[in-house]
Copies of this chain bind each other. A is one copy, B any other.
Amino acid sequence: MEKFQYDYPHPALTVDCVTFGFDGGEMKILLVKRGIDPFLEKWALPGGFVNIDEDLESCASRVLEKECGIKEVYQEQLYTFGKVGRDPRERVVSVSYMALVRTDDYALLVGNLELSVQWFPISEVKDLAFDHEEILKVALKRLRGKIRYQPVGFELLNEKFTMPELQTLYETILGKSLDRRNFYKKILATELLIKTNEKKSGGAHKAANYYQFDHNKYQELTESGINLEF
């Protein structure tokens, strides 16, 4: 087998992908069950070694497609994890990427080296391979920080949605219940929403109004930032 030689030791470089999925009710995380050592049969974030002629973003796209069947997702760089000893094989530094999608926009496909691929409710995640629980923790913190100063929901909700649906999205990201009145007041104050004439029918409760995002305002607040503290 050909060997690659260097004058001084080189670390290996991987990419790990944190993909949050919203299914209308709950925030989930995409995990693969490892089919190879180390951590055989453990659940892990999808990840892989960066090819020597491959950009980091391309590697992140390749990993999600090859291991999970998920294509064309915008992934943003999250953080680089490089602690000595985080991988039992050799020194491995991992650049993590993060995405937020609707789970029902994608059909999952298991890769050749994985035993399984699945969306997990975040609250049920435990005992992941490597330092992936730490990576997930950093990603959740980033996501929770982001929704305080950027609008969220445009790609995650239907074009028309009710206030309870929007509140559910915020609650599942923040991992806590929010007071309904306070939430409505703060969200309406941002002027992000346009009330439509339609109402959601059915159910035991009073019919809820459908809203949609004001696209210009959404864009404007994405750039200028908001401050939503719940």
Contact = CB atoms under 8 A, between A and B. Distances in A.
A120 B133 CA distance: 41
A101 to B, nearest CB: 23
Nearest to A226: B227
Contact of A49 (B8, B91, B95, B227): B8
Interface in A106-163: 145, 148-149
A89 to B, nearest CB: 11
A interface SS class: loop
A52 to B, nearest CB: 4
Query: Contact size class for A?
Result: 35 or more
B4 A6 contact: yes
A52 B11 contact: yes
Contacts of A95: 80, 82, 93
A64 to B, nearest CB: 17
Interface string A25-36: 000000000000
A13 interface: yes
Copies held by the complex:
2
Given A10-B11, A227-B149, A82 B3 contact: no
Nearest to A10: B10
A7 B1 contact: yes
Interface in A1-21: 1, 3-13
A199 B62 CA distance: 62
A5 B9 CA distance: 8
A49 B95 CA distance: 17
B84 A54 contact: yes
A15 B25 CA distance: 41
17 contacts: A4-B10, A6-B10, A10-B10, A10-B52, A11-B13, A11-B50, A13-B13, A13-B82, A50-B93, A55-B82, A56-B93, A93-B95, A145-B225, A149-B227, A224-B229, A225-B229, A227-B227
Given A4-B10, A8-B49, A149-B227, 14 more contacts: A4-B8, A10-B13, A10-B52, A11-B13, A11-B52, A53-B84, A77-B80, A80-B95, A82-B95, A148-B149, A148-B225, A224-B229, A225-B227, A226-B227
